[in-house]
A and B are shown apart, each in its own frame.
Chain A
């Protein structure tokens, strides 16, 4: 061991030399991170590489995909689901259609509702706010499987929802058995029952434009409601944390200027919530493209394939239809879509130079934030965007 003291380390030490400590620290650093690296490497990185190989191979689900009998087929699997012209392409198109509508409805609605709840609950004069927060957040902690089971009952033909609708004189639909598209139904009510040639004769991914415009099916709508019900609580907490970070001074100044509550919200509160908004939208977007649990538990893609999602289709192709290559290909297309959308959204919500921004109160949030708010700090802060695993999973419900 060297006895040379480095200039940096002026502090006297009783045991060990500085270099020894530095060396020990490096070793400890690697040792401390090793379990995490090993597990994530073996169960995340390696799987992704292996699946990438499967998506380019003709592996049929027997024995090892790395064995010599498995051939490289290039982009065949990707072609089959995107341009193949067969059932595989149409199924993928239908799944994309279903999920796109799901995202289009769930993301804005859950964000809006969460923000609305946060603003309501965050009012300083509110009594019993703990009770309300608990009520709104509780659905978020329960399992997606349990909620789906509950939803199947609530939305069954003679279930709670229809019983309540019947009391106000509405004959409810046969929710989870109704494959008709909501938009098509609206058009049908206006007398439009079939689309113009231009829309029915042409299409994308094996699905005609008219069918793309069907809207979510009635069955999917029930899942949309469920997603909003289960995620609004989590996001409400994130917004509350964001709101409390803003502080009352600017708001009070604006109040002096005579701005009403509505104006203050839009002009002052909302712009300052931009970082939280970004986190919520990103988490929502990522979660909504991964709908799997509720489909597996509830409808298995039915009725009429209208609750089929790319995630479930990927599972089904691989595990049930033995098309492992296509299943993996669908998973990677989904991956790319999620990444692209996250980047796009980031770009849309990017900081513009003229926007006034208060410095973040990082330290307070980190020390005081022991709940899911910290996840936001973890995911939205240093990571700069990508979702944390548990939260993303949460809204996958």
Chain B
């Protein structure tokens, strides 16, 4: 870095200033909508309509949040989303790594077929599955239940690939030692290999958490009861005015803001992992 900096000719200083200016402007464009969302959720409806641009609520009111939490199904939606997300994330972490390990390390007849099948599965666009998924869930008798909402999401082919790639990258000698010590396959997987796979597991956690928390179409076709409505479905129905007439932007934006928080928390907790995709490589 320093080497490059020293080499910079003086006239590029102007370029540097322009670059930072541009980046700051772009960053503002990307961040401002979320600030508006937060600010508007604390405004009165009249204020939101009169001065949408301002980031200072005047007057500041928590009415939208009060309405959401005290006089709507919002808490139920939130709880459902949380339950589903936790189950799906746990399931994916376990099953994806299990299958990924088998594909990377275990020699068995049909491995090629399994692998090919997974590749094929990844090519199927999810929206195409909207109608068929409903038919099968329905046929299996798990329509309108947690089982119907969670089971189909419990594994994902992409996650299996991520784990497979990771397991292939770690040296086999570790397992050999354990095998010599007489450990069984599952034992080796569970207590030797899996603990080493933490970075990849974190990736799966992030992707599954984000994926299932933000999932909408699957929940539309998998359940109908109000008790099983998730945040995405609930807020979507708020947005399209199915629950109330009129704009009511503060309430809708409050709902959207709360919905964003858990993902944002996960995002900031694991931010270094997400962001430094291969930053380390450069510094090495």
- Interface residue ranges, A against B (CB under 8 Å): 11, 13-16, 21-22, 24-30, 32-33, 35-37, 39-40, 42-48, 50-51, 54, 64-66, 117, 120-121, 123-126, 130-139, 141-150, 152-154, 156, 158-160, 163-164, 229, 233, 237, 240-241, 244-245, 286, 289-290, 292-293, 296-298, 300, 311, 314-315, 318-319, 324, 327-328, 331-332, 334-335, 338-339, 342, 361, 363-375, 377-379, 381-393, 396
Contact = CB atoms under 8 A, between A and B. Distances in A.
A222 B231 CA distance: 24
Given A146-B259, A244-B282, A366 B168 contact: yes
Q: Sort chain B's interface into a size bin.
A: 35 or more
12 contacts: A36-B95, A40-B155, A120-B19, A138-B34, A142-B34, A142-B264, A331-B129, A366-B169, A383-B122, A386-B122, A389-B122, A390-B208
B27 A135 contact: yes
Mostly helix, strand, loop or mixed at chain B's interface? helix
Given A26-B109, A160-B53, A374-B203, A144 B214 contact: yes
B127 A318 contact: no
Interface in B1-24: 1, 4-5, 8, 16, 19, 22-23
Contacts of A324: 131
B237 to A, nearest CB: 9
Contacts of A145: 214, 216, 231-232, 235-236, 239, 256, 259
A375 B158 contact: yes
Contact of A392 (B1, B125, B182, B186): B125
B100 to A, nearest CB: 9
B122 A163 contact: no
Given A43-B133, A293-B216, A375-B158, A154 B166 contact: no
B122 A14 contact: no
Interface of B: 1, 4-5, 8, 16, 19, 22-23, 26-27, 30-31, 33-34, 36-37, 40, 48-49, 51-53, 95-96, 98-99, 101-103, 106-111, 114, 117-133, 135-137, 139-140, 151-152, 154-158, 160-162, 164-166, 168-169, 176, 179-182, 184-186, 189, 199-200, 202-203, 206-208, 210-211, 213-217, 220-221, 231-232, 235-236, 238-240, 247, 249, 252-253, 255-257, 259-260, 263-264, 266-267, 271, 273-282
A335 B132 contact: no
B99 A35 contact: yes
B240 A44 contact: no
A147 B264 CA distance: 13
Contacts of B130: 292, 311, 314-315, 318, 331
A245 B280 CA distance: 11
Given A144-B214, A145-B216, A150-B36, A137 B274 contact: yes
A33 B263 contact: no
A149 B139 contact: no
B27 A131 contact: yes
Given A144-B216, A149-B256, A374-B165, A334 B101 contact: no
Contact of B98 (A35, A143, A244, A339): A35
A237 B275 CA distance: 7
B22 A120 contact: yes
Nearest to A391: B158
Given A32-B189, A37-B99, 9 more contacts: A142-B260, A150-B256, A160-B53, A290-B126, A296-B240, A331-B128, A371-B275, A379-B158, A390-B158
Contacts of A141: 210, 263-264, 266-267
Contacts of A391: 158
A51 B135 contact: yes
